Chain A
Amino acid sequence: MKVIQQMVWDWPLRLFHWLLVLSVVGAYITGELGGSLTELHSLLGALILGLLIFRVLWGFLGTHYVRFVNFFPTPERLTAYFRGDWHGVGHNPLGALSIFALLLVLIALVVTGLFANDDIAFNGPLFHLVDKSSSDSLSGWHGWLVTILLVLVGLHVGAIFYYLLIKKNNLILPMVTGNKLLRSDQIVGSVGSCSIRHLIIAIYIALTIVWVIWSGLITD
């Protein structure tokens, strides 16, 4: 059967992915070190929030394989996958579970961070909306979520290396170039190129929400 190169991950998705990697690693390091770096930690939180809002919108506005509806891990897809009957191209159903778990944990991390305080000199941009004891518990949750995130990131990276070394399937390269080598029967018609209009809408909404939260416009 003919093997052809097909675009799977559109460029905004790839840019999102690698910016998220950098900003999450940066947020982890600055969060652990504290001190003057807490300011940078907060800025990285704003960037991560923007990226996450973008990713959620892109799950509806992006190209075929990045849309949630095309990889949402429904029970039927999961059972098919475990029976060995899944022959899709993008995220497999188990991988999709991990993607949604990562997104949800990151969203929870940013949201708890908005209300957090460090009992030293940092108050999140929405700290003033809750009382101190609520902020303290949300700060605690922020910490526990980091532990959960580390486990999920470990699974994510571990799975990629399992595919690379055992299954001889390089998943990293397509996240850089966007392309995968596919058999002609795996292709689902045209993926199309990403819509610039959709891209502008997604970025505009993400920037607006981040700006409103960090500008101090929200008061109680």
Chain B
Amino acid sequence: MMKLRYVWSLSCVLVSSVVLANPIEDQIRIRQSTYAVMGWNTGKIKNQIVDHPETYNKDQIIAAANTLSALAHSNLLEELYGVGTDKGTGWKPTRLKADYFQKQDEVKEINARLIKETDELKVVAETGDVAAIKSQFGKLGATCKSCHDLIRVRE
């Protein structure tokens, strides 16, 4: 029993030391991963709704919309954009602009819009109306872009 507890606490230390090794770089890496998953899902919607409508699969589009909405609701602004995260390397160097922290009003407005548009996408995905999904997907894309333009360094 003692031995098990020893193993447990050792593994906790190991896990937390990995997770907390560099909290800033962890935030950057997790948010880069979040956007990669979002891109995977927007890419799937683009492919099935815009480029190849003959491949439209209602369940997959609903799943993609649900994923996007869940990530939009995931509190990422509060948890992954801490002070100091404008510099550092996750999977790759972050492109967050240094003046991100001075633009909080606009950032919060866009974040609210991201939540609203992905929620709306969920609703239209359920209806299976491809034209409506396409139009709502356009609104979501414009929302993504407004944030890219605001807080992301141009390469």
**Chain A residues engaging chain B, CB cutoff 8 angstroms:** 33-39, 118-122, 133, 136-137, 139-141, 143-144
- Tell me if A140 and B39 are in contact (CB < 8 A): no
CB distance from A120 to the nearest CB of B (A): 5
- Tell me if B137 and A119 are in contact (CB < 8 A): no
What is the chain A residue whose CB lies nearest that of B139? A35
What is the chain B residue whose CB lies nearest that of A33? B142
Q: How many residues does chain B have at the interface if contact means C-beta atoms less than 8 Å apart? A: 23
- Tell me if A121 and B42 are in contact (CB < 8 A): yes
Which segment of B16-24, B43-51, B78-86 sits at the interface?
B43-51
CB distance from A19 to the nearest CB of B (A): 26
Question: If A39-B50, A119-B148, A140-B154 touch, does A34 touch B39 (CB 8 Å cutoff)?
Answer: no
Contacts of A141 in B (CB 8 A): 155
One of A35, A133, A143 near B141 (C-beta < 8 A)? A35
**With A and B bound together, what is the CA distance between A33 and B142 in angstroms?**
7
Question: If A36-B141, A143-B154 touch, does A121 touch B43 (CB 8 Å cutoff)?
Answer: yes
What is the chain A residue whose CB lies nearest that of B143? A35
**Any A CB within 8 A of the CB of B35:** yes
CB-based closest 4 A-B pairs = A36-B138, A140-B155, A35-B142, A34-B145
**With A and B bound together, what is the CA distance between A119 and B145 in angstroms?**
9
The dominant DSSP class at the B interface is: helix
**Any A CB within 8 A of the CB of B104:** no
- Tell me if A38 and B39 are in contact (CB < 8 A): no
CB distance from B121 to the nearest CB of A (A): 12
What is the chain B residue whose CB lies nearest that of A35? B142
What is the chain A residue whose CB lies nearest that of B152? A119
- Tell me if B46 and A121 are in contact (CB < 8 A): yes
Contacts of B35 in A (CB 8 A): 119
- Tell me if A118 and B145 are in contact (CB < 8 A): yes
CB distance from B138 to the nearest CB of A (A): 3
Could you give 24 example pairs across A and B, Cβ below 8 Å? A34-B141, A34-B142, A34-B145, A35-B139, A35-B141, A35-B142, A35-B143, A35-B145, A36-B139, A39-B50, A118-B141, A118-B148, A119-B144, A119-B148, A120-B39, A121-B42, A121-B45, A121-B46, A133-B92, A136-B155, A137-B155, A139-B155, A140-B154, A144-B154
